Amino acid sequence: MLALTSIFFKKNLVLIFFLISFPAFAHHPMGGALPQNFLNGILSGIAHPIIGFDHLAFILTFGIIASYFKNKFILPLYFITFSLIGTILSVNFLVVPFSELIISLSIIIAGLTSLYDKRINIYFPIILASGGGFFHGYAFGQSVVGIEASPLIAYLIGIALIGFVLIFGSSFLITKYYHLTLKPRFVGAIFTGVGLTYFIENVETLI
C-alpha cells in the first residue's frame, strides 16, 4: 500500500500541488459582469462550476461516487435538480448564512464518502448530492443576482449541462478504465484535503 501511494504521488505531484494551491473561490467567468444574452448565459453557466474549484472538486468527487453504482444517472440528476433550485432561489434574494462554510463541508463529506468504494448505500449519496447541490447552486446564483430572464435560463442550462457531463462522464471513465485500481479513491482523498483547506480558510474569516 505504501509503495502504491508513493508511486501515485510521484506521478501526480504537479496535479496535487495545483489542486491544493488553487486560489479559493475564483468564481465568475465574466469578471463579475452579468451575462447579457443567451449565449453569454450558457457560457457563464458552463464555466462557473469549472473555474470555481470548490464546485469542481465536489462535482468530480461525485463522479467517483457515481462510478460505484450501476445506474450512473441518479446522482447527476439529483445534483442538477437541486443546484438549479438553489440557483433560482439565490437569484431571487434567498439569503443563506455561512454558505461557503457549508460548501467546504460538503466537499469534505463527499471526499470521505468516495473512499468507501462499493460499501456505501445509494441513499446517503443521494441526500448529499441534493443538499450539496442546493448550496453549490446557491453560490452559482450569488454570482448573477440581477440577471435578466433570458440569460438566466441559459445560465441554468449551462449549469445543468456541465454538471451532467462532469459527473456522468467522469463516472463512466472511471468505470471503464480505473474500476479495479485505487486511483479514484486517491483522488477522492485529495479532494477531501481540498475541502479541508477551504473549510479552514472560511473558519479563519469568521474569527
In whole angstroms, what is the distance from residue 132 CA to residue 104 CA? 10
**pTM of the predicted protein model:** 0.84
What pLDDT was estimated at residue 92?
A: 94
| Of 86 and 118, more confident | 86
Distances (CA, A) of 7 to 2, 189, 192: 9, 15, 20
Report yes or no: 139 and 100 within 8 Å, Cβ to Cβ.
yes
In whole numbers, what is the pLDDT of the chain averaged over residues?
86
* Domain encompassing residue 115: 45-195
What pLDDT was estimated at residue 1?
A: 40
pLDDT higher than threshold 50 for residue 2? no
Flag whether 56 is in a domain. yes
What pLDDT was estimated at residue 3?
A: 44
Minimal CA–CA distance to 86: which of 135, 149, 24? Answer: 135
Counted domains in the chain: 1
C-alpha cell read off for 37: 444574452
What pLDDT was estimated at residue 65?
A: 94
What pLDDT was estimated at residue 118?
A: 63
Flag whether 162 is in a domain. yes
Flag whether 12 is in a domain. no
Rounded (5°) CA angle 101-104-107: 155
Report yes or no: 59 and 166 within 8 Å, Cβ to Cβ.
yes
* pLDDT per position as a tens digit, 12-62: 444 444 444 444 334 556 666 899 999 999 999 999 999 999 999 999 999
What pLDDT was estimated at residue 185?
A: 86
Which one-letter amino acid corresponds to residue 207? I
Flag whether 73 is in a domain. yes
What pLDDT was estimated at residue 116?
A: 84
pLDDT higher than threshold 50 for residue 130? yes
Flag whether 1 is in a domain. no
Minimal CA–CA distance to 196: which of 112, 119, 130, 120? Answer: 112
* pLDDT per position as a tens digit, 162-197: 999 999 999 999 988 886 566 888 899 999 999 999
Mean pLDDT across 101-113: 96
What pLDDT was estimated at residue 28?
A: 59
Flag whether 76 is in a domain. yes
pLDDT higher than threshold 60 for residue 198? yes
What pLDDT was estimated at residue 17?
A: 41
What pLDDT was estimated at residue 59?
A: 97
Flag whether 11 is in a domain. no
What pLDDT was estimated at residue 19?
A: 43
What pLDDT was estimated at residue 178?
A: 80
Flag whether 8 is in a domain. no
